[in-house]
């Protein structure tokens, strides 16, 4: 370094103190620029700082064409009269470009002074940049901490509620408060559980009009950037600026759309990232609420089923009546908690003529509806028995009552046998029911088919009445289609002939034993396959 006079050293020391006194880059550059321009007696100068991709204009005086932040172009600077380019430090953190000095010559001592000054400034610039970067990192860290606190508080708030409507309310208030917006819309839906919508300052059309398009929403986006023109037009028409999808698994179950921020601020990528995180938390809360509601609904349904099962079991006779000349047994095994089969034995005494009505029915459907229909059939038969002249007329009357009191989709197939125990004379009516088996004592098999349509299906129907006589040793078997159609895993059916074979083999045993043998044979045949339909058996044996 060339010799520097005491006065310049004092000036250099003073500049060094000023340059290092502040970590503010603007102040540092202003002082550097003033010092250099003053010593060189120039009115035009530019300082460019290396921004990682080359030097960019950071400060200028007297050069209106130099815009802050633009890349420094040496050729253009020269064309503007900035012909002298001085590196700032070694290695250089930037450069200082000036016009030609007004003084005719710059001596070596002055050059040494400027080099020393720029070297000192380089250290100050590096310190200021490091400080600025640290400040930015701290500011970003503070923002992240605040966002994390917001997410944690949101999660705590969600954990305290179990209603979808309340989750939507908390979510809406939180996003509105986060960005201080006065317009927002929260909409979520779940198949079978309906739609929940919360809107502030905006009224979107019903979800059904754009629900299909909703599934094309990205996780987070500015409305102006939406690729789907339908959704973009919808949200823009309602002055909504940012949208976050609510995605449950692979499916979009809703969205949150926000209006403009105050003061014309835009939503930054960091805002979209935070909003997507809040939306993800909200989806978990919505899923939990829906699951909670489904569990409650399931428990309520199970409770109703238990009540229905209890009611249904009460419809079956607790014990079959003892009938002179008959040995009767019956059983029912539903495929589900509440089945659709029904059997009953009703006695009727008219003077010395004792009679009884055997009934096996199969109502349409399962569950509560089937249980209610069964109770209606029982009440109808009990009310009509003995009031109608014949079994066919009883069937006609019962059909009219059932048709008038049940929905069109509800009906029942039924096999009805009105028997006189003393004589064995019987009347038989079948409303679309499975064939009944009459096994004569001599081994003859007689199949009794339907004599009319199911009860309750159409009004004004009539049924044919079949007369038969049960003689000693004869066995009459009434059953539901769950018996003959019992299946193996490979869909092989038990069949009515197999039923007849077993009845013939067990015919000399009591009715209860025949019933048990039939049920055992069915279980053995299906080899553990799930029971897909109700099984009902009634064995009437003439003794």
For 372, the 3-state DSSP assignment is helix
pLDDT in tens, 481-496: 999 999 999 989 999 9
Q: Sort 344 into a burial class: Cβ within 10 Å, 0-12 / 13-18 / 19+.
A: buried
Query: Where does 160-268 have alpha helices with state H?
Result: 164-179, 211-214, 229-237
- The residue among 160 and 222 whose pLDDT is bigger is 222
d(CA 113, CA 39): 10
Per-residue pLDDT for 368 more than 80?
Answer: no
Confidence of residue 352 (pLDDT cuts 50, 70, 90): low
**DSSP state for residue 87 in the 8-state scheme:** E
Q: What is the DSSP string of 420-479?
A: -TTT-EEEEEEESPPPEEEE-TTS-EEEE--SBPPBTSSTT-----EEEEPPTT-EEEEE
Q: Phi and psi of 445, rounded to 5°?
A: -105, 125
Per-residue pLDDT for 533 more than 80?
Answer: yes
Question: What is the mean predicted confidence (pLDDT) over 423-445?
Answer: 96
d(CA 30, CA 37): 10
**DSSP state for residue 480 in the 8-state scheme:** -
d(CA 99, CA 542): 130
User: 512: which residues sit within 8 A by CB, 6+ positions away?
Assistant: 329, 539
Question: What is the mean predicted confidence (pLDDT) over 221-240?
Answer: 95
Strands 412-419 and 353-363, how do they pair?
antiparallel
pLDDT in tens, 232-267: 999 999 999 999 999 988 889 999 999 999 999 999
Question: For the chain, how are helix, strand and coil distributed in percent, rounded to 5?
Answer: 45, 25, 30
- The residue among 113 and 331 whose pLDDT is bigger is 331
Residue 409: the pLDDT is: 72
Strands 466-469 and 475-479, how do they pair?
unpaired
Q: Are 432 and 450 spatial neighbours (Cβ–Cβ below 8 Å)?
A: yes
HSE, CB side, 13 Å, CA atoms: give it for residue 431: 29
Residue 327: the pLDDT is: 96
Confidence of residue 281 (pLDDT cuts 50, 70, 90): very high
Residue 196: the pLDDT is: 92
Q: 């610039």: which residue's tokens?
A: 125
Per-residue pLDDT for 1 more than 60?
Answer: no
């Amino acid at each position: 370094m060339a010799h520097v006079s005491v006065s310049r050293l004092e000036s250099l020391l003073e500049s060094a103190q000023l340059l290092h006194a502040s970590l503010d880059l603007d102040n540092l550059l202003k002082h550097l620029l003033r010092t250099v321009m003053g010593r060189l007696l120039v009115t035009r100068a530019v300082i460019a700082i290396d921004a990682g991709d080359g030097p960019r204009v950071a400060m200028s005086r007297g050069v209106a064409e130099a815009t802050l932040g633009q890349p420094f172009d040496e050729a253009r600077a020269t064309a503007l009269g900035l012909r002298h380019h001085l590196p700032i430090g070694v290695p250089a953190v930037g450069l200082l470009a000036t016009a030609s000095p007004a003084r005719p010559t710059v001596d070596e001592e002055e050059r040494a002074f400027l080099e020393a000054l720029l070297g000192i400034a380089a250290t100050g610039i590096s310190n200021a940049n490091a400080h600025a970067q640290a400040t930015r990192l701290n500011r970003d860290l503070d923002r992240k901490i605040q966002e994390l606190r917001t997410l944690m508080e949101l999660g705590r708030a969600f954990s305290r509620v179990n209603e979808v409507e309340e989750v939507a309310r908390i979510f809406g208030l939180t996003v509105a408060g986060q960005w201080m917006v006065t317009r927002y819309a929260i909409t979520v839906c779940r198949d079978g559980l309906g739609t929940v919508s919360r809107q502030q300052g905006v009224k979107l059309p019903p979800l059904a009009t754009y629900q299909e398009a909703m599934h094309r929403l990205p996780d987070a986006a500015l409305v102006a950037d939406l690729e789907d023109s339908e959704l973009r037009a919808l949200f823009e028409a309602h002055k909504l600026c940012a949208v976050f999808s609510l995605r449950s698994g692979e499916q979009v179950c809703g969205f949150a759309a926000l209006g403009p921020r105050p003061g014309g601020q835009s939503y930054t990528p960091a805002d979209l990232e935070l909003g997507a995180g809040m939306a993800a938390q909200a989806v978990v809360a919505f899923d939990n609420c829906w699951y909670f509601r489904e569990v409650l609904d399931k428990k309520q349904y199970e409770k109703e089923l238990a009540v229905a099962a209890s009611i249904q079991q009460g419809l079956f006779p607790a014990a079959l009546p003892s009938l002179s000349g008959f040995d009767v047994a019956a059983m029912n095994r539903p495929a589900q908690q509440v089945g659709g089969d029904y059997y009953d034995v009703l006695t009727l005494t008219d003077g010395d003529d004792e009679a009884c009505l055997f009934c096996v029915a199969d109502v349409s459907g399962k569950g509560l509806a089937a249980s209610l229909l069964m109770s209606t059939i029982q009440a109808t038969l009990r009310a009509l028995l003995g009031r109608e002249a014949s079994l066919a007329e009883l069937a006609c009357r019962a059909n009219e009552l059932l048709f008038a009191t049940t929905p069109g989709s509800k009906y029942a197939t039924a096999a009805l046998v009105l028997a006189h125990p003393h004589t064995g004379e019987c009347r038989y009516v079948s409303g679309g029911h499975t064939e009944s088996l009459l096994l004569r004592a001599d081994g003859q098999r007689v199949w009794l088919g339907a004599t009319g349509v199911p009860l309750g299906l159409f009004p004004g129907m009539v049924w044919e009445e079949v007369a038969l006589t049960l003689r000693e040793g004869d066995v009459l078997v009434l059953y539901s289609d769950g018996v003959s159609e019992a299946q193996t895993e490979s869909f092989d059916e038990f069949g009515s002939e197999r039923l007849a074979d077993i009845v013939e083999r067990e015919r000399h045993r009591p009715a209860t034993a025949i019933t048990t043998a039939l049920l055992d044979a069915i279980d053995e045949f299906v080899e553990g396959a799930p029971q897909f339909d109700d099984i009902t058996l009634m064995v009437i044996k003439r003794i």
